[in-house]
Structure 1
Amino acid sequence: MVIATHAPAVFAEDRMYLPVHAGRALASPVAGTYGDHEGHSISERNAHWCELTALYWVWCNRENPSGLGLSHYRRYFRGEAQGPKGTRVLSGIEAAGLLADFDVVLPRRRYYVVETVRSHYAHAHVESDLSVVEQVLEECSPHLLPAWNRVMQRRSLSLYNMFLARPEHAEAYCAWLFEVLEKVESHIDLDGRNAYQARALGFLGERLLNVWIEGHPELRVLRRRVVQVGGEPVLRKAVAMLRRRWG
C-alpha cells in the first residue's frame, strides 16, 4: 500500500505501507520515504498528476505479488491497527483478509446531494477537460463510455484516488488509467492555470477510478471508511461547494 506524501509526516508503521515522496524530482527529499523519481517515472509531472506519480512509480518499478493500493499521508482506510495521531488504520493482516473476499476496496462514497458528478466538476474545475476525457475514451475504451456517462450523472463519488486491489485487477486498472491520462494530458493546455487547477490529471483520475469500477460489474467491491489524520474540514468543503454552485 503506497502512502503518497509531499511533506514530512508520521507514517503508518505496518510493513504493508510504503511511504513514497510524490514529486521527488521537483523537491528536496522527505525523510523516511522512497522517491518516485528513479527508474520509470513521471515524478517531474507531479504538479499535474498529484499522488498518481507515486502510484505510477510503484506500479512500474516494484513487484506487487499480494496486491497494490494507494493511500495518503493524511488518509488511510479504517482498520484496527494503531496509526498516526491515534487513528485506526488498516493493517496488512486485515488487508489480506479483505482481498480474500473482495477484488477491490474503495473509499465510501461522498454524496454531493445538490450536484451531479459532472456539474460538480464543472463548477470546481475546468469543464472542458471532461470533453477531452470523453474523446479519449471514445478512441481507446469505447466500451467504457456508458460507464462514464452513468458516473457523471450520479451524485456520489469515491474520492482521493484511493484503492486497494488484488494484483491482477491493480495491474489492469493502472495500465488502463495511465494510458488514458497520458492521452488526455496531450490534448489539454495546462499552461496559465493556477496551481490548483493545474492538478487536472489527479482530479480526473479520481473520476476515472469510479468509471473503471462501474465498467467492470463482475468485480467484488467493498467501500470502506477512510480515516483522516488530524480530521477533515467537511463543513468548510460543503460550504465551498454551495458557493460554487449558487455563489
Structure 2
Amino acid sequence: MNNIYISTFGKKTIKVKNEIPIEVGSANRNNFLYSVRDNTGINISKENKYYGELTGLYWIWKNQLIQNDELIGFGHYNKVLNVSFKKAYKLLVNEKKYDFLVAERTYITPHPQKDELNAIASILKRYYREYYETWTKLYNVDGSGKQCNNAQLFITTGKYFNKYCSFLFDVLERMRDIIGDKKGSPYDVRYCAFMGERLLTVFIVTNKLSYKEYSIKYASKLVNIGRKVTKILNINKKSRLYRTLQLKFGAKSSYKK
C-alpha cells in the first residue's frame, strides 16, 4: 500500500498518481464527493475546527496501519508537492536516499495568540526537551521564522510517518487540554493546525533526518504562474506589490469565510 492521501472538504481534489482523497471534518458536515472519510474507525473528526486537515492525518495513522517500508504522502485538495510518485518512490523506497520529501522552507508569519504559543513551548520544554531546543532555534518568540516546511505537505515512509504522528498528536492533544475550546472564525480557531505546521520541521531537524525540498504544485495554473514570477523577480513578501499579487492570484484557504 503506497499512497498519497489528499485531504478535502467536499471539494474536487488535485490529481496525482496513487491518490486517495479523504474527506476531513466529516463528522461536522454532509457534503461529500469521496468515499473515504475521517469519521470512521478511530478518529478525531469532530475536532476538525481546531485541527483542520490534521483530522485526516490522524485517521490515516490510526486506521491504515502504514508499514515501515511503505510510501505515504499527504497533500490537500488544491496543492501537493511538485514531485512525481515515481520519483518519490525511487528516492524514499528504492534508493533510501532521503527520509522525507517536504515543501520548500519559507517564512511563516507571527502567530497572534500568545497563550497558544506559550502552551506549545511549555509542552515541548517539559516532555520533549530536544524538540523544544530545536523549536527555539527555528522560530522567534512570536512563532514566526524563515525555516518552516509548512502546509503539512510531505511524502515519507511508514517508519517515519508513524513516529512523526505519535509525536505530533501527543503534543497537540496536550495543547487542546491546556487551551480548550475557542470561539471565532473557522480560520482563527484552528490553533492545532497552525502549531502542527511548525512541528513538522521541528521533528525532521531534531531527529537529524535527511530530506529534500520541493516547490508546491497548485491546482490553479494562475497560482503556479504567480509563484514562479514572484520567485524569479525576487519580490519581497512584505512589500505592497507582493500583497497585491497574493490577493489577486494567491491560493485561497477553504477555512476563510
- Coarse TM-score class (shorter-chain normalised): 0.7 to 0.9
Q: Is 1:101 aligned with 2:101?
A: no
Measured after TM superposition, the shift of residue 195 of structure 1 is: 2.0
Distance 1:76 1:155 in 2: 20
Q: Secondary structure at the match of 1:196?
A: coil
Q: Equivalent of 1:9, from 5, 8, 12?
A: 12
Q: Secondary structure at the match of 1:190?
A: coil
Measured after TM superposition, the shift of residue 110 of structure 1 is: 1.6
TM-score (norm 1): 0.81
Q: Is 1:19 aligned with 2:6?
A: no
Q: Is 1:220 aligned with 2:233?
A: no
| Pairing of 1:1-247 with structure 2 (within 5 A) | 1-12=4-15, 14=17, 16-65=18-67, 66-79=70-83, 90-91=84-85, 93-99=86-92, 100-111=96-107, 120-122=109-111, 125-153=112-140, 154-217=145-208, 219-230=209-220, 231-232=222-223
Measured after TM superposition, the shift of residue 68 of structure 1 is: 2.1
Measured after TM superposition, the shift of residue 192 of structure 1 is: 2.4
- 1:87 aligned residue: none
- 1:114 aligned residue: none
**Matched-pair identity in %:** 23
Does the CA-based 8 Å contact 2:38-2:56 persist in structure 1? yes
* Deviation >4 Å, runs of 4+: 237-242
Measured after TM superposition, the shift of residue 12 of structure 1 is: 1.7
Does the CA-based 8 Å contact 1:11-1:19 persist in structure 2? no
Q: Report how many aligned residue pairs link the two structures.
A: 221
Matched residue type, 2:130: H
User: Cα distance 1:57–1:238, how it changes in 2: closer, same or farther (>3 A)?
Assistant: farther
Measured after TM superposition, the shift of residue 49 of structure 1 is: 0.3
- Post-superposition Cα deviations, 1:181-236, rounded to whole Å, max 9, x if no partner, equal 0001111143223322101110100011111112112x11111111011143768x
- Post-superposition Cα deviations, 1:136-181, rounded to whole Å, max 9, x if no partner, equal 1122111211101011144232111111112111110000100000
Does the CA-based 8 Å contact 2:100-2:156 persist in structure 1? yes
**Bigger relative contact order, structure 1 or 2 (CA pairs below 8 A, ≥6 apart):** 1
Measured after TM superposition, the shift of residue 17 of structure 1 is: 1.6
Does the CA-based 8 Å contact 2:121-2:132 persist in structure 1? yes
Matched residue type, 2:90: G
Does the CA-based 8 Å contact 1:158-1:206 persist in structure 2? yes
Unaligned 5+ segments in structure 1 are 80-89, 112-116, 243-247
